[in-house]
Amino acid sequence: MSEIHLPVSLERSIELLTPAITSKSHPIIVDGTLGLAGHSYELLRRFPQLTIIGIDRDQQAIEIAKKRLEQFSGRVRVYQDTYDNLTQILDDFGTEYVDGIFLDLGVSSLQLDSIERGFSYSQDAPLDMRMNQNQDLTAMKILATYSQSELTRVLREYGDEKFAPKIARAIIEARGSDPIIKTHALVELIKRVIPAPARRTGGNPAKRTFQALRIEVNSELSILERALPVALEKLAIGGRLVVLSFQSLEDKIVKREFAKVVESKLPKGFPIDLPGYQNKFALLFNGSQKASEEEITSNPRAQSVRIRAIKRVAA
Ligand X SMILES: C[S@@+](CC[C@H](N)C(=O)[O-])C[C@H]1O[C@@H](n2cnc3c(N)ncnc32)[C@H](O)[C@@H]1O
Q: How far is the CB of 82 from ligand X (least distance, A)?
A: 4
278 or 298, CB closer to ligand X? 298
Residue 223 makes contact with ligand X by CB under 6 A: yes
Residue 99 region, left (φ>0) first, then alpha (ψ -120 to 50), else beta?
A: alpha
> How many angstroms separate the CA atoms of 150 and 6, rounded?
37
DSSP symbol at 94 = T
Residues in 6-65 that interact with ligand X by CB under 6 A: 7, 33, 35-39, 55-58, 61
Q: Which of 9, 82, 138, 152 binds ligand X (CB under 6 A)?
A: 82
Name the residue nearer to ligand X (CB basis): 144 or 225.
225
Min CB(63)–ligand X separation in Å: 12
Q: Which of 16, 29, 52, 83 binds ligand X (CB under 6 A)?
A: 83
The residue among 249, 218, 206, 6 whose CA lies nearest residue 120 is 206
Segment holding 224, helix H or strand E: helix 220-233
Give yes or no for a contact between 12 and 289, defined as CB atoms under 8 angstroms apart.
Answer: yes
Does 159 sit near ligand X (CB under 6 A)? no
Are 307 and 13 within 8 A, CB to CB? yes
- For ligand X, the closer of residues 104 and 216 by Cβ is 104
Q: How far is the CB of 118 from ligand X (least distance, A)?
A: 14
**CA terminus-to-terminus distance, the chain:** 41
Q: Which of the residues 122 through 151 are near ligand X (CB under 6 A)? A: 131
* Close Cβ partners of 80 (under 8 Å, ≥ 6 residues apart): 55, 56, 57, 58, 59, 62, 132
Amino acid code (one letter) for 111 = Q
To ligand X, the closest distance from the beta carbon of 29 in angstroms equals 12
Cα Rg of the chain, angstroms: 21
Q: For ligand X, give the closer residue by CB, 53 or 171.
A: 53
Q: Contact letters (x/-) for ligand X, 172-191, by CB under 6 A? A: --------------------
As a whole number of angstroms, the distance between CA 191 and CA 199 comes to 7
Q: Measured from the CB of residue 302, what is the shortest distance to ligand X in angstroms?
A: 11
Instruction: Work out how close the CB of 299 gets to ligand X at its nearest, in angstroms, rounded to a whole number.
Output: 11
Considering beta carbons, is residue 57 or 311 the nearer one to ligand X? 57
Closest separation in Å from C-beta 42 to ligand X: 9
Q: Within 85-114, which residues bind ligand X (CB under 6 A)?
A: 104, 106, 108
Distance CA 275, CA 111 (A): 49
Neighbours of 20 (CB within 10 A): 24
240 in contact with ligand X (CB under 6 A): no
Helices (H) and strands (E) in the chain, counts: 14, 7
Give the total of residues touching ligand X (CB under 6 A).
19
Binding site for ligand X (CB under 6 A): 7, 33, 35-39, 55-58, 61, 82-83, 104, 106, 108, 131, 223
